[in-house]
Structure formats: C-alpha cells, structure tokens
Amino acid sequence: MVREKTVKLTKFELEVMHVLWDLRSASVREIQEQLPEKKRPAYTTVQTIVRRLEEKSAVRRVKKIGNAFIFEPVVTRNATHNRLITELLELFGGSARPLMAHLAEAGKLTLEDLREMETLLVDQEGLTGEGREAKRGSLPRTRS
C-alpha cells in the first residue's frame, strides 16, 4: 500500500491527464488534437496547462522530438481517481451508500453492475480482504 502523493488537479488539468494516460506520452500538439473539438482550446492554452502540470509534478518531460518535448504522466490514473472519489465521498459523509443510492436513482446503476461488483468484491476479499472483514464485522451471509 504505497500511498502516492496525489496532487490536486483542476477539471481541465484532469482532461489533459486523461489524454496522457491514454496515449502514454504525447507532445503538447498531440494533446491538443485529442481534446474534443467542440471546446478545443488554443495551442498555448494547452501548453500552459501542461506547464502547470509540470510544476505540480503530475507530468514530466521524457524526451524531445524535433524541437518538441514529449510528456508523460507521473501520477497514475488510479491514484488520481481514488483521490477524486475520496473527496466526493467526504461530501457524502464518508459512506458509499448515499452515493450509490444516487447512482441507482439516476439510473446509472443497473442490477448487472451490481452483480458484476459482487463477483469482483468476493474475489478481492478472498485475496486481500481479510483485514477489512475483521474491521467491519463479518458479513452475514444473506440470501445464503
């Protein structure tokens, strides 16, 4: 459980990171071209964001092709997503239930999703979940 130091990223910075996570590495030009054309910002706007991401150590320069720098992510998608979720969760009192209830209510959550998660969760518990089980009380084997 190595806790990565995840920085705070803004909405736009996040979008750029997503491009980088997908492409593995890219130049400013490539990043800009990946952004949805509807709201594609000016080249230098993207450049500024990348620069700020650099300052935050969220990306780094890996090499230079021609006269253009190639950037790659330093923080992982996973760590960043976890951070986002944790923050949202705090607004909900820290519990996932209200959050899930909303998802269900909004029709974003299907029974299929739940079944899928169940499988996933069971597997996980088998591998690493022992500690948690003790901490939260053993699960009542409902619907035996």
Question: Where along the sequence are the contacts to DNA (CB under 7 A)?
Answer: 8, 10-13, 27-29, 39, 41-45, 47-49, 51, 66-69
CB of 114 to a copy of itself, least distance (A): 5
CB of 96 to DNA, least distance (A): 24
What is Dmax (Cα atoms) for the chain?
A: 64
Backbone phi, then psi, for 134, in 5-degree steps?
Answer: -65, -40
Single residue of 4, 55, 125, 130 touching a copy of itself by CB under 8 A:
125
Q: How far apart are CA 10 and CA 30, in angstroms?
A: 20
Using CB distances below 5 to 8 A depending on partner kind, what does residue 91 bind out of a copy of itself, DNA, none? Answer: a copy of itself
Single residue of 3, 5, 38, 136 touching a copy of itself by CB under 8 A:
136
* Helix boundaries (H) for 9-76: 11-23, 28-34, 43-55
For residue 68, the cross-strand partners are 65
Closest CA relative to residue 56, chosen from 74, 70, 41, 44: 74
Where on the chain is the footprint of a copy of itself (CB under 8 A)? 14, 18, 78, 81-82, 84-86, 88-89, 91-92, 95-118, 120-122, 124-125, 129, 132, 136, 139-140, 142-143
